[in-house]
């Protein structure tokens, strides 16, 4: 029941957010229409960072107490991280083409960090897909998840060795910044809509993952008998 409310409210709020983004909020003075991509781009990327944090904590928890639910949570976080991170990259490129004149630039720190993050999620999921044994899969993918977590600070350092220019400043800064109130409302609404969508997808996918695991177990029992 709770999940259904979550699903319906995320759909409703997403429609409201679309209205606010495309009709209510004004055109950005400096960037014009392409700026509207940011209302989606930023929440989606923030949620892909959240996926990375969730994946890391799920891996730590699994190695700590070896409960299958943490393994499932990690897998779901990685899947959503790949989807949201990939969406973020594509929406970023759509913005970059009119503003920077190129889809891809190699000097931007965040863009390239995001690419590495998406590649790592993909590698984690590839590893899981090719491990037939359920227990082995859980342990080994958690070890890989932890090794990937350790990698994050090094990616930061490494990319700073390449000369960089400035990424656009975060739209919502702690001080509030000089954002237009209409834009702030549209952005907040979009952020909440995406968070609800994320939690709906996460809980649904987690339930599916549990069923999948049970089916896998029953298959093994049938085959053994």
Residues binding another protein (CB under 8 A): 63, 116, 119-120, 122-123, 126-127, 130-133, 136, 139-140, 142-144, 146-148, 150-151, 154-155, 157-159, 161-162
CB of 193 to another protein, least distance (A): 31
Q: Where are the alpha helices (DSSP H) in 23-133?
A: 38-65, 68-100, 109-129
Judged by beta carbon, residue 21 or residue 58, the one nearer another protein is 58
Nearer to another protein by C-beta: 130 or 223? 130
Q: Can you say whether the dihedral through the CA atoms of 132, 135, 138, 140 is positive or negative?
A: negative
Q: Which residue, among 162, 170, 132, 137, has the nearest Cα to 59 in the 3D structure?
A: 137
177 by DSSP, 3-state: which? Answer: coil
97 or 167: CB nearest another protein: 167
Least distance to another protein, CB of residue 67, Å: 15
Rounded to a whole number of angstroms, the minimum distance from the CB of residue 35 to another protein is 31
Contact 108, 144 (CB under 8 A): no
37, 70, 128, 189 from 42: Cα distances, Å: 9, 28, 29, 12
Compare residues 43 and 145 and give the one whose CB is closer to another protein: 145
Residues 6 or more apart whose Cβ sits within 8 Å of residue 193 = 10, 13, 14, 16, 17, 43
Least Cβ distance, residue 186 to another protein (angstroms): 35
The DSSP call for residue 168 is: P
What gap in Å lies between CA 203 and CA 162, rounded to an integer? 40
Toward another protein, which CB reaches closer, 14 or 146?
146
Q: Which is nearer to another protein, 133 or 210 (CB)?
A: 133
Strand partners, 32: 28
In angstroms, give the least distance from the CB of 173 to another protein. 28
CB of residue 204 vs another protein: minimum separation in angstroms? 28
DSSP 175: T
């Amino acid at each position: 029941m709770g999940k259904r409310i979550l699903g319906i409210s995320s759909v409703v709020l997403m429609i409201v957010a679309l209205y606010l983004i495309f009709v209510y909020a004004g055109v950005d003075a400096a960037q014009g229409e392409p700026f509207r991509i940011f209302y989606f781009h930023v929440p989606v990327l923030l949620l892909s960072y959240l996926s990375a944090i969730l994946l890391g904590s799920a891996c730590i928890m699994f190695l700590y107490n070896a409960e299958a639910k943490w393994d499932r949570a990690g897998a779901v976080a990685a899947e959503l991280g790949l989807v949201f991170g990939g969406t973020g990259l594509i929406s970023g490129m759509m913005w970059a083409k009119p503003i920077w004149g190129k889809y891809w630039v190699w000097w931007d720190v965040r863009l390239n960090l995001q690419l590495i993050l998406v590649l790592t999620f993909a590698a984690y999921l590839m590893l899981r897909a090719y491990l037939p044994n359920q227990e082995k899969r859980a342990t080994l993918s958690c070890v890989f998840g932890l090794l990937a977590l350790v990698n994050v600070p090094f990616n930061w350092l490494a990319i700073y060795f390449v000369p960089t220019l400035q990424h656009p400043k975060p739209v919502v800064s702690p001080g509030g910044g000089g954002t237009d109130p209409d834009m702030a409302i549209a952005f907040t609404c979009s952020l909440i809509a995406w968070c609800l969508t994320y939690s709906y997808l996460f809980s649904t996918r987690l339930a599916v993952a549990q069923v999948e695991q049970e089916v896998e177990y029953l298959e093994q029992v049938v085959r053994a008998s």
